[in-house]
Amino acid sequence: MELLSGNEACVQGALKAGVTFFAGYPITPSTEIAEEMAEELPRRGGLFVQMEDEIASICAMVGASASGAKSMTATSGPGYSLMQEGIGYACMAEVPCVIVNVMRGGPATGLPTRSAQADIMQARWGTHGDHPAVAIVPKNVMECFEMMALAVNVSERLRMPVSLLMDEIVAHMREIVNLPEKADVWQRPKLTTPVDNYVHFADDTNFDSALASFGEGYRIHLTGLTHRPDGFPTNDPKVIAWKMDRLARKITLNRSWLYDVVATDTKGADTVICSYGSIARSAQEARFAFMAQHPERRVGHIRLRMVWPFPQFKLVELLRGVRKLVVPEMNQGQLKHEFERAVSPDVEVVGVNRVDGEMLTPEEIMEAL
Amino acid sequence: MDYLRLDDRFPHILCPGCGIGTVMSAMIRAFIELKIDPNKLCVVSGIGCSSRVPGYLDCDTFHTLHGRAIPSASGVKLAKPEMEVVVMGGDGDMLAIGGNHFIHAARRNLKLTTIVVNNYNYGMTGGQFSPTTPQGARAKTAPCGNAERGFDVCELAKGAGAVFVARTTAYHVQQLKNLIKQAIQKKGFAVVEAIAQCPTLYGRMNRLGSAVKMLEAMRDGSIPVTSVKKPEDAVGKIVTGVLWNVDAPEYTEVYQGTMAKAQARQQENQK
Amino acid sequence: MKKFLKQEPEVLTTPPGHKLTIISRFCKGCEICISFCPKGVLALDSKTLKVKVLNPEKCTGCRLCELYCPDFAIFVETARRTARAAAGGV
């Protein structure tokens, strides 16, 4: 039993999932992750390096991951914006890595010490070009641990960058948690292909695959240019289409397990609150308080733990027959339209938005119900 | 030839007479003479003409984002310190967008062999001026002459803390190979500035003639550092040779000490 | 190398015993090797606009052409190296 903050639990989750490399740059409110990693990694024989800026951090992290180390970085909005090109590179070169973004008020310097959930769309489309994205949102300290380990495993399996979107509230809250001794760790499969037959991006291995790292004798070529299956750049339209499709299929072929939705009392509910992150607690309390006052109403709760890919197919199922959605977000309505698309047009979808750095209260959500 | 991925992509994309090819050839000769294991060699680059070179090499090659060869190479070296990590990039990639990473890597002193191929412009994008283009020279984005001054790459590297700084040109092919060998063997951040001719763009825009003429100008316009007896000797000349060579603790070695200290601290705390 | 080049590269042994290999497909006609050969061994073929050997007997095996070539189009194996290899050396 220990009293931990969200940031500290995130570090523990990373370490238990096998992360051995951290390259980062301090930024409020994620700095504690870097500081904790600076303590933990050297004593475990891991590598901690504070780079000169966020761009250097993401590039160093990608280099280390391409060399075989499970790697992560941690930042907040302004740093996340700087890292976008690097995130795109990790997508294109299919290098696993986790970027923790402890969301704060934006845009630009914004509110360094106050919370927001305003980087949700950026996590999907921040970097240029067509690319898949996976983003995971924890709601409390225990989930910071669990979801960080999940993020590492998903990024390793799919060989793509995964964003863990905490927010300042979750990062700095302290709770008593009982962290498990071990976490599930997805290990990279051992490569058995002989060097001469090896093709780095062979078509049937865009996930759960054994891909070579630098230094294993496969003499691979990684590039950010759109490339052929052997990794070298191409201008052939057929090959370009193959690669772009391969990237998209990392999501479409894994729908059966690539979602995480917690649904409570949605069956027979007339109204469902759709939330994610730290305001899930306000949503829960709003639900109970409201139903106590209005016993004739049935209010359910859907909480997304994995925000991207957006689990539309699951929500269509879960929200069947619901007449009203209430979407509380600490942003100006970034995920509201995604929820709208999961229900028919005659369902009323109401957003409850707060962008002043203060936490959304149960009362505000109740008003919308 | 060893270290070459001879496949359907040859002849390589560099222009006829481009000095980058000569630098590439010298680098490979350095690898051959040092007997570097290609399975333990990683050549890293950013974006530009020089940065296309690693793609033609038969070892682990890492073609990264514009300006980010050095931090990417740092990640590789930190995660796999037993590998030989060589960085190759141009004057734009290394010193403009990559300038910050260049100076910090020099300060950090992680063992990276950094070859800065300087052809005084941004070749890949058509000949715009770069941080080394001399003041007054013509370029696509300076049609009336460059208003800015150019860096002295070696002074910059030295000022930032690089432990080995050397300069030569694509004319001095033997010295090119030898300096690269020395840089690879140096335990720390080693910089070799290799001046190369860009006859297609910089040379043409500034009426410098053919590749041969540009190489002859490098021959006539350079002076070995050992022949510079007073500052006036070096004015208007390219000073070649090893310009700076000192010793300083290399980053991974210092980090080993950090790990030992962290472990000792943990044991103390547990008592 | 040989398996991907459609034809054998041209190998010429000069009278002094140095083997000159020219991969014409790679040559871009930049003329650097021609100009820097101290003995005038090489010239530009007026039809193909690529390098060709003009005066093989003048070759001293200095290998400057190979060292300068940006395109890996010309290689020189000196008589001395061939002899060393035959004697079991490197």
CATH pick for A262-368 out of 3.10.560.10, 3.10.20.30, 1.10.10.60, 3.40.50.920: 3.40.50.920
Domain count, chain B: 1
Which two structure tokens, joined as six digits, stand for C52? Answer: 């060709």
Cis amide linkage into residue A309, ω under 30° from 0: yes
State how far residue B92 is from chain C, nearest Cα, in angstroms. 21
| H-helix segments, chain A | 6-16, 31-43, 54-66, 77-82, 84-93, 120-125, 141-158, 168-172, 237-252, 280-293, 312-318, 336-341, 362-368
Hey, are the CB atoms on B24 and C70 less than 8 Å from each other? yes
**pLDDT for res A299:** 95
Hey, are the CB atoms on A66 and B62 less than 8 Å from each other? yes
pLDDT tens-place string over residues A93-132:
999 999 999 999 989 999 999 999 999 999 999 999 999 9
Is the pLDDT at C8 greater than 70, yes or no?
no
Nearest to A94 by CA among A191, A202, A17: A202
Q: Does B22 touch chain C (CB under 8 A)?
A: yes
What's the whole-number mean pLDDT along residues A198-212? 83
Say how far apart CA B206 and CA B144 lie, in whole Å. Answer: 11
Output the average pLDDT for chain A.
95
Say how far apart CA B35 and CA A285 lie, in whole Å. Answer: 69
**pLDDT for res C13:** 84
Say how far apart CA C89 and CA C82 lie, in whole Å. Answer: 10
Q: Which parts of chain C are beta strand (E)?
A: 10-13, 19-22, 42-44, 51-53, 74-77
What's the whole-number mean pLDDT along residues A249-260? 93
Is the domain spanning A2-177 CATH 3.40.50.970? The answer is yes
pLDDT tens-place string over residues A240-254:
999 999 999 999 999
Cβ-based neighbour number of residue B218 at 10 Å: 20
Considering only CB atoms, B17 lies closest to which of C1, C5, C30, namely: C30
Nearest to B63 by CA among B43, B49, B77, B90: B43
Least confident of A206-210, A249-253, A271-275: A206-210
Considering only CB atoms, A214 lies closest to which of B42, B65, B261, namely: B42
The range of the structural domain enclosing residue C28 comes to 10-86
Domain count, chain C: 1
pLDDT tier, A62 (very low <50, low <70, confident <90, very high otherwise):
very high
Cα separations in angstroms, A4 against A78, A114, A137, A174, C31: 26, 19, 18, 5, 70
Say how far apart CA B20 and CA B40 lie, in whole Å. Answer: 24
pLDDT tens-place string over residues A299-315:
999 999 999 999 999 99
pLDDT tens-place string over residues B113-165:
999 999 999 999 999 999 999 999 999 999 999 999 999 999 999 999 999 99
Tokens 């060399």: give the residue. A67
Q: Are C37 and C64 in contact (CB under 8 A)?
A: yes
CB contacts of B101 in chain A (<8 Å) are 52, 56
Tokens 């976008």: give the residue. A84
pLDDT tens-place string over residues C22-65:
999 999 999 999 999 999 999 999 999 999 999 999 999 999 99
Hey, are the CB atoms on A55 and B71 less than 8 Å from each other? yes
Say how far apart CA C58 and CA B86 lie, in whole Å. Answer: 38
Using an 8 Å CB-CB cutoff, list residues of chain C that contact chain B.
1, 4-5, 25-32, 35-36, 64, 67-73, 75
CATH number for the domain including C31? 3.30.70.20
SS3 A96: coil
Output the average pLDDT for chain B.
96
Q: Does B68 touch chain A (CB under 8 A)?
A: yes
Q: Are A31 and A79 in contact (CB under 8 A)?
A: no
Cβ-based neighbour number of residue A181 at 10 Å: 5
Neighbouring C-alpha atoms within 13 Å toward the C-beta of B111: 23
Q: Are A41 and A22 in contact (CB under 8 A)?
A: yes
Hey, are the CB atoms on B22 and C68 less than 8 Å from each other? yes
Considering only CB atoms, A52 lies closest to which of B40, B65, B101, namely: B101
**pLDDT for res C87:** 82
The range of the structural domain enclosing residue B137 comes to 19-270
Which two structure tokens, joined as six digits, stand for A223? Answer: 């590039």
Is the pLDDT at B60 greater than 70, yes or no?
yes
Q: Does B123 touch chain C (CB under 8 A)?
A: no
Handedness of CA A141, A144, A145, A146 (dihedral sign): positive
Is the pLDDT at A135 greater than 90, yes or no?
yes
Say how far apart CA B134 and CA B155 lie, in whole Å. Answer: 15
DSSP-derived secondary structure letter, A75? E
Rg (CA), chain B: 19
**pLDDT for res B1:** 66
Which two structure tokens, joined as six digits, stand for B71? Answer: 């931090």
Q: Does B256 touch chain A (CB under 8 A)?
A: no
CB contacts of B173 in chain C (<8 Å) are 64, 67-68
**pLDDT for res A51:** 97
Handedness of CA A257, A262, A265, A270 (dihedral sign): negative
Which two structure tokens, joined as six digits, stand for A189? Answer: 């499969």
| Residue B14 covered by a domain | no
Please calculate the CA angle B64-B69-B74 and round it to the nearest 5 degrees: 115
What's the whole-number mean pLDDT along residues A233-240? 96
CB contacts of B4 in chain C (<8 Å) are 72
CATH number for the domain including B62? 3.40.50.970
Q: Does B89 touch chain C (CB under 8 A)?
A: no
Tell how far CA A73 is from the center of its chain. 13
- Please tell me which residue of chain B has the smallest CA distance to C30: B17
Nearest to A230 by CA among B8, C26, B13: B8
| Residue B8 covered by a domain | no
Least confident of A269-273, B155-159, C5-9, C11-15: C5-9
Hey, are the CB atoms on C28 and B22 less than 8 Å from each other? no
Q: Are A171 and A5 in contact (CB under 8 A)?
A: yes
| Residue C1 covered by a domain | no
pLDDT tens-place string over residues B19-38:
999 999 999 999 999 999 99
DSSP B33-65: HHT--GGGEEEEE-SSSGGGGGGGBSSEEEE-S
